[in-house]
């Protein structure tokens, strides 16, 4: 069974995995029940987590067997729960490319006016291009845009749109994969095929590799950027127990009144 599961997770792309997850998730999790690790989103405790990733980034012990959360989802959940007003105040929230571990849980929060959008995701309620969002200026208290911008050809336009619809005093969580050995973001418009993107960017549907200049790109459209090292506030035991990436920084964008 473990070999079958590993094959599915290694060779199915994320959209296909989402479609089949409702069938396989209830079965898979029973093979992983234990007490060594815990997902803070769904509270499932496991003897180990599932492997996940693309190509060379396929690694063991990453994906929650019960809700399919990854390290970045678990970190964002803990940050929202422990450091923000997300679960307590009446807020209008935009979730771009909504993620399976979050969407149903966020929908159940009665304090939120929760809106999801994406151009292709079957989970999104509004079909919208992030480069041209169908929302008013200053509409949302909180925006969650997690590992989306690396897929967008004109990411600066997408950032501008996110900035436009965010309220003053609001904040946006703007996570992307970053290679910190790169001083500058690498992108090449001549790289167009899925095979080329896998070779140069590490994933078939990525269009760049962000470097250490990522905050500058956000600032270029008006965002005030806070690089939050929230992981440093957690104990080493919690980082291990919740299966987090100890190097991940949370990028928070806000704007002046």
Question: How does pLDDT run across 122-132, given as a tens digit for each residue?
Answer: 889 999 999 99
CA atoms of 117 and 122, how far apart (whole Å): 10
pLDDT of residue 59: 85
pLDDT of residue 92: 98
Specify the pTM: 0.90
pLDDT of residue 16: 65
The two beta strands, 45-46 and 33-38, are: antiparallel
- Positions of the chain with pLDDT under 50: 1
- Ordered structural domains, the chain, with CATH: 2-69 (no CATH), 72-254 (3.40.50.150)
pLDDT of residue 30: 81
How many helices (H) and strands (E) would you count in the chain? 8, 11
| Average pLDDT across the chain, whole number | 91
Which DSSP state fits 117? Answer: E
pLDDT of residue 22: 63
**154 close to 184: Cβ distance less than 8 angstroms:** no
């Amino acid at each position: 069974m473990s070999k079958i599961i590993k094959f599915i997770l290694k060779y199915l792309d994320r959209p296909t995995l989402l479609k089949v997850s409702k069938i396989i998730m209830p079965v898979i999790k029973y093979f992983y029940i234990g007490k060594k690790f815990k997902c803070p989103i769904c509270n499932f405790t496991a003897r180990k987590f599932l492997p996940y990733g693309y190509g060379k980034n396929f690694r063991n012990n990453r994906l929650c067997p019960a809700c399919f959360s990854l390290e970045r989802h678990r970190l964002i959940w803990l940050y929202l729960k422990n450091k923000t007003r997300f679960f307590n105040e009446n807020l209008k929230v935009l979730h771009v490319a909504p993620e399976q571990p979050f969407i149903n849980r966020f929908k159940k929060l009665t304090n939120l006016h929760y809106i999801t959008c994406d151009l292709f995701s079957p989970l999104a309620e509004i079909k919208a291009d992030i480069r041209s969002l169908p929302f008013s200026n200053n509409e949302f208290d909180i925006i969650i845009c997690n590992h989306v911008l690396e897929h967008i050809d004109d990411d600066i336009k997408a950032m501008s749109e996110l900035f436009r619809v965010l309220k003053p005093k609001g904040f946006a969580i703007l996570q992307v994969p970053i290679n910190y050995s790169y001083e500058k973001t690498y992108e090449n418009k001549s790289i167009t095929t899925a095979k080329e993107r896998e070779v140069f960017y590490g994933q078939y549907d990525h269009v760049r590799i962000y470097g250490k200049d990522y905050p500058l790109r956000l600032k270029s459209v008006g965002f005030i950027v806070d690089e939050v090292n929230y992981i440093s506030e957690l104990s080493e035991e919690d980082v291990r127990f919740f299966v987090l990436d100890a190097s991940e920084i949370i990028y928070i964008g806000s704007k002046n009144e």
